[in-house]
Amino acid sequence: MNAHDEMSDNEVLRAASDSLSAIPMASPPDVEAIMARGRARRTRWRSAAAGLSVTAAAAGAALALALTGVLGSTPARSTGAIRTAAFTLASNSDGTATLTINPAELLDPAALQNDLAQYGIPAVVTVGSLCTSDLAPAGFSQVVSTSPAGPSTATPQPVANPTITIDPAAMPAGTELSVGDFQLSSGEYSGEQQADFVLIDTSSYTCSSTPPDPNGLPDGYGPSDGIGLLYGGPGPAGS
């Protein structure tokens, strides 16, 4: 390399400057355009937020109405009646429910138990058996009354259309209404049906297929701890 091949410092700087000037440089940002885009985004955000607020409000109103329909419904306090071939269950305005049995039809235990539950009455309904507890829960006479009104009696009363009124609000905590329906095939009341109503302890009871004595209630139950009704057949109730 000779002296003419060497570049001076000034020539190197000029060459570097010429190379850089050939590179395209971004123009300064347009401040007005940036601000316009920001305003547009804020407008879209506000519109979306307003839409979400309206949607949330509508959903909240729908949920409130749904909860009112579900949580606010109290079948035991509404008026109306459930009618089947075997019985009629009418809900009264005071919260009680009146059960009338049709003696011409066999009782459907599952239907009656389900319908009692709709009116707020926990019950165990059986045909051909009766469920009882070792000791009768107190308060039966406040829960169940007969029609026409009168004191509870252990002795089954021959009636044409058995009718009782049940007050679920008077049921002691931890109890259920036990309903046992029997078709009697022997004895004085052979051919009739016998329905017995007692209270049971929800956590402790047994069921027996032996009908209670028509002149009394199961062991552990006193005269005011249940009701027995006779109906249907050729006996007094069918006369």
Residue 179 has pLDDT above 70, yes or no: yes
**DSSP string for 45-111:** HHHHHHHHHHHHHHHHHHHHHHHHHHHT--GGGS-EEEE-SSEEEEE-TTS-EEEEE-TTS---HHH
Q: Is residue 9 part of a domain?
A: no
Per-residue confidence band for 75, with pLDDT thresholds at 50, 70 and 90: very low
Last residue of a domain, one of 36, 71, 106: 71
What's the pLDDT score for residue 151?
40
Look up the domain containing 39 and give its range: 26-71
Q: What beta strand segments (E) does 103-174 contain?
A: 123-127, 130-132, 144-146, 157-158, 163-166
pLDDT for res 201 = 97
Answer yes or no: do 53 and 128 share one domain: no
Residues 206 and 152 placed together within one structural domain of the fold: yes
Spatial CA neighbour of 233 closest among 179, 185, 170: 185
Shared-domain flag, residues 51 and 106: no
Of 46-50, 98-102, 222-226, which gets the smallest average pLDDT? Answer: 46-50
What pLDDT, on the 0 to 100 scale, is given for residue 146? 84
> Using one digit for the tens of pLDDT, what is the confidence trace for 15-28?
666 665 555 655 65
